[in-house]
Amino acid sequence: MELIDIGANLTHAAFHGDLDEVVGRARAAGVGEMIVTGTGVGESRAAVALAAAHPGLYATAGVHPHHARDCGEATIAALREIARHPKVVAIGECGLDFNRNYSPQPSQEQWLLAQLELGIELGRPLFLHSRDAHPRFADILRAHRPAKAVAHCFTGEKAELHAYLDLGLYIGITGWICDERRGRHLLELVRDIPRDRLLLETDAPYLTPRDLKPQPKARRNEPAFLPHIARAVARALGRPAEDVARETSRNARAFFCLPDHEPRSPAPSQRTLAA
């Protein structure tokens, strides 16, 4: 299988010691392209640096709702500048998270709107986050509809899924579908997602598939586990995993405007990146 991981937090401290090996394992597993998630201005710059240094890696530029409280007058200008880099393929991760409310809800909404407007201005897809924020999240998208957006790491219920589908969103499925405690409903809901709008992701280092045997050290998820998620989705759909891999990769290329092929070269060492 050849797969594309549309969401991996490779700038996370969990990967600082062995990023080259992580990228190498992903490629050996058939995950040729990975989108490195930007969750703040600094993290977005770091994501671009990784993408620039590794063929097959791309980046998003945005501010996660957890960090909306840290935004200010310079935030959108900084994201606009970062987004000029050719390896930036989407604006985000942006959205609403009413589960923990690390940032006040009005602040989350303010900076979601600002990033939606930036994506529309730049003609870039939106990489969206929503947790416990339905239906407010859908209402905002309905009023400020981006041309192209993905509901990253979808874990919601049927009404939420169909609200996003009605808005034309793509849907990102993670290892949550492998969790027999919290993700069983996704085994049915994934069948409602049109074939041309289904995307796959790990959200590494988070959301390690619970049914992965053996479990990785410290339960750290990584892009090399994406084939496991693809097979779980394929079983739920009653379809060959190779077909699901091919279709979701085609969807990812179309959504992010990725080239059909980017020359591969050995990943530089961390020492080289730090130089």
Residue pLDDT, tens place only, 16-38: 999 999 999 999 999 999 999 99
CA-to-CA distance for 49 and 85, rounded, in angstroms? 10
CA-to-CA distance for 32 and 57, rounded, in angstroms? 8
Helices (H), the chain: 19-28, 41-53, 75-82, 105-122, 136-143, 158-166, 184-189, 226-237, 241-256, 270-274
Give 173: exposed, middle or buried? Use CB within 10 Å, 0-12, 13-18, 19+: buried
- In the chain, % of residues over pLDDT 70: 95
Whether 249 shows a pLDDT value over 50: the answer reads: yes
CA-to-CA distance for 62 and 76, rounded, in angstroms? 9
Q: Measuring CA to CA, how many Å separate 139 from each of 144, 145, 193?
A: 9, 10, 20
The architecture (CATH level 2) of 3-274 comes to: Alpha-Beta Barrel (3.20)
Task: Tokens for 105, please give them.
Answer: 């809800």
Return the number of other C-beta atoms located less than 10 Å from residue 38's C-beta: 32
3 state DSSP class of 94? strand
> What is the bridge-based pairing of β-strands 126-131 and 88-97?
parallel
Residue matched to tokens 């050290």:
217
Burial 226-259 (b: 16+ CB within 10 A, else e): bbbbbbbbbebbeeebeebbebbbebbeebbebe
**pLDDT tens across 194-231, in order?**
999 999 999 999 999 999 999 998 999 999 999 999 99
Q: Residue ranges of the domains in the chain?
A: 3-274
Residue matched to tokens 């980046």:
59
Task: Tokens for 115, please give them.
Answer: 């990033």
pLDDT the model gives residue 1:
86
List 59's β-bridge partners, or say none: 36, 88
